[in-house]
């Protein structure tokens, strides 16, 4: 509703499009559900990541371990080294335990944020997607807290004084919500900017100029928000490992 009001206040342009649209309606267990633009974007993103993984697996198996890597394999090794360096900065000796998780969400968020370049509505501009990412981090953080601290994971909520228990609980719950909202809001702002430009500008300003806006909203901001989400996830996890 608020996005519709924004469109009306921005000159009443009828071709402004910010919303998540239902493409197909179906019933499941008596409930009406929709196949939305977010669902389609997610499917395309997952297919792209899967194809990339298949080609990467074949390229690595076909490479000669006794020769210097080149081309695609060299690109993969640089990416793995960068990921290991990023996780080692926060997690140190525990990086190997969480490398797969951090690498998975990094690739997923990275490709999702870049999907605007393909004409898709970024899946991460839907809070249902970013909330689930934050929820997974929340579950891993608390699992590690219980695993490493046992009962102290719960008793620490009463420290340094019992009166701070409600604040400590709110702080624990706020962590996944804050990182999910940060990612969602930054990606959505890019969707709004591009929607306003394509919906309000004359045709001659829709050629060439939007590429510079996409460069910021999808490439620069997308990469930055991917890095921030992963770094904060590692900070929360590392806090429970001590």
User: Alpha-carbon distance 67 to 60, whole Å?
Assistant: 12
**Span 123-145, mean pLDDT?**
91
Q: What pLDDT is attached to residue 108?
A: 94
Of residues 1 and 16, more confidently modeled: 16
User: Alpha-carbon distance 133 to 228, whole Å?
Assistant: 13
Number of domains in the chain: 1
To which residue do tokens 């792209």 refer? 48
14-28, 80-94, 187-201: which has the minimum mean pLDDT? Answer: 14-28
Q: What pLDDT is attached to residue 219?
A: 83
State which of 4-18, 79-93, 186-200 shows the largest mean pLDDT: 79-93
In a domain, 15, yes or no: no
Q: How far is Cα of residue 173 from the mean position of the Cα atoms in its chain?
A: 19
Provide the terminal-to-terminal Cα distance of the chain, rounded to the nearest Å: 45
User: Alpha-carbon distance 109 to 5, whole Å?
Assistant: 29
Q: What pLDDT is attached to residue 202?
A: 67
In a domain, 4, yes or no: no
Strand partners, 27: 32
Structure-token pair, residue 21: 């649209």
Is the predicted pLDDT of residue 135 greater than 80, yes or no? yes
In a domain, 2, yes or no: no
Share of the chain above pLDDT 70, in %: 88
Is the predicted pLDDT of residue 45 greater than 90, yes or no? yes
In a domain, 90, yes or no: yes
Q: What is the DSSP letter of 47?
A: H
pLDDT tens-digit map of 140-181: 988 888 888 888 878 787 777 777 788 888 888 888 899 999
- Which stretches of 10-161 are assigned E, i.e. beta strand? 22-28, 31-36
Q: What pLDDT is attached to residue 230?
A: 93
Is the predicted pLDDT of residue 5 greater than 60, yes or no? no
In a domain, 170, yes or no: yes
Q: Considering the entire predicted model, what is its pTM?
A: 0.84
In a domain, 187, yes or no: yes
pLDDT tens-digit map of 171-219: 888 888 999 999 999 998 888 887 777 777 767 666 766 777 777 778 8
In a domain, 219, yes or no: yes
Mean pLDDT of all residues in the chain?
Answer: 82
Q: For residue 208, what are the domain limits?
A: 21-241
23-to-42, 80, 125, 206 alpha-carbon distances in Å: 14, 38, 17, 26
Q: What pLDDT is attached to residue 14?
A: 52
Is the predicted pLDDT of residue 15 greater than 70, yes or no? no
In a domain, 12, yes or no: no
DSSP string, 112-150: HHHGGGGTPPPGGGSHHHHHHHHHHHHHHHHHHHHHHHT
Q: What pLDDT is attached to residue 1?
A: 42
Is residue 106 within 8 A of residue 234, CB to CB? The reply is no
């Amino acid at each position: 509703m608020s996005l519709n009001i924004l469109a009306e206040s921005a000159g009443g342009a009828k071709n402004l499009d910010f919303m998540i649209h239902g493409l197909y309606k179906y019933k499941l267990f008596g409930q009406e559900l929709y196949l939305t633009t977010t669902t389609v974007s997610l499917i395309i993103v997952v297919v792209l990541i899967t194809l990339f993984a298949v080609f990467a697996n074949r390229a690595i198996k076909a490479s000669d371990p006794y020769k210097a890597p080149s081309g695609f394999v060299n690109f993969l090794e640089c990416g793995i080294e960068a990921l290991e360096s990023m996780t080692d900065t926060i997690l140190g000796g525990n990086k190997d335990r969480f490398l797969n998780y951090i690498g998975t969400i990094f690739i997923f968020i990275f490709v999702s944020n870049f999907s605007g370049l393909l004409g898709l509505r970024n899946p991460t501009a839907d809070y249902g997607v970013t909330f689930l990412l934050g929820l997974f981090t929340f579950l891993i953080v608390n699992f590690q807290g219980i695993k490493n601290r046992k009962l102290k994971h719960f008793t620490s909520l009463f420290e340094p004084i019992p009166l701070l228990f409600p604040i400590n609980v709110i702080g624990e719950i706020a962590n996944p919500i804050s990182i999910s909202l940060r990612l969602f809001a930054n990606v959505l702002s890019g969707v709004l900017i591009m929607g306003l430009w394509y919906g309000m500008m004359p045709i001659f300003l829709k050629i060439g100029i939007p590429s510079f806006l996409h460069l910021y909203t999808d490439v620069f901001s997308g990469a930055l928000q991917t890095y921030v989400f992963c770094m904060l996830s590692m900070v929360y996890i590392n806090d429970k490992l001590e």
